[in-house]
Amino acid sequence: MSLPIVNFLDALSIPEENLKYSIVCSQYQNNWVFVRHRLRNTWEMPAGHIEPNESALQAARRELYEETGATDFGLRLIADYSCDWKGEVKYGRIFFANIHHLGKLPVSEIAEVQFFKDLPEQLTYPDIQNLVFQRVLSILSIQLNQLPQSIKE
């Protein structure tokens, strides 16, 4: 069984038109936010495809709302990444969200939102999500002494 090869790159290093996914590693009240797809019994970070004519930032905002019900949050750009899975390379952008308010979960493919103190054991994509989570923690710890920047449109 081959594992995906994930490489992290500096934020904004991949041209927007080459990006396929936005991943939003999120916290709410100092807990990590993970979602469960209605057809699975495992946890994942809010994430999804970038739609045509949509930026990675717009996709991150949309996915965070659709998958968690978040209506008030700050987003911080973390990194770009590539994922080589069986010879097919796809690119994405990773964000961190500090969620201030969660509204009602919209009707979607997401069955449940859950809060964790750490990375949950039962992940949908463990070989990718574990690396993404560790990268987010690393970048956030580096930025700890810097003034937080929220991305605003």
Residue 153 lies in a domain: no
pLDDT at 59 over 60: yes
pLDDT in tens, 77-96: 999 999 998 889 999 999 99
Looking at the whole model, is its pTM more than 0.75? yes
What pLDDT, on a 0 to 100 scale, did the predictor assign at position 142? 74
Number of domains in the chain: 1
What pLDDT, on a 0 to 100 scale, did the predictor assign at position 150? 54
Domain containing 23 — which CATH number?
A: 3.90.79.10
Residue 152 lies in a domain: no
Residue 140 lies in a domain: yes
Instruction: Give the residue numbers spanning the domain of 132.
Output: 5-147
pLDDT at 72 over 80: yes
Residue 32 lies in a domain: yes
CA distance 18 to 38: 29
Of the candidate ranges 1-5, 52-56, 126-130, the one whose mean pLDDT is the lowest: 1-5
What pLDDT, on a 0 to 100 scale, did the predictor assign at position 146? 54
pLDDT at 143 over 90: no
Residue 12 lies in a domain: yes
Residue 104 lies in a domain: yes
Confidence band for 2, pLDDT divided at 50, 70 and 90: confident
What's the chain's average pLDDT?
92
pLDDT at 44 over 70: yes
Residue 31 lies in a domain: yes
User: In one letter, which amino acid is 109?
Assistant: E
- Residue range 139-147: average pLDDT? 69
Residue 111 lies in a domain: yes
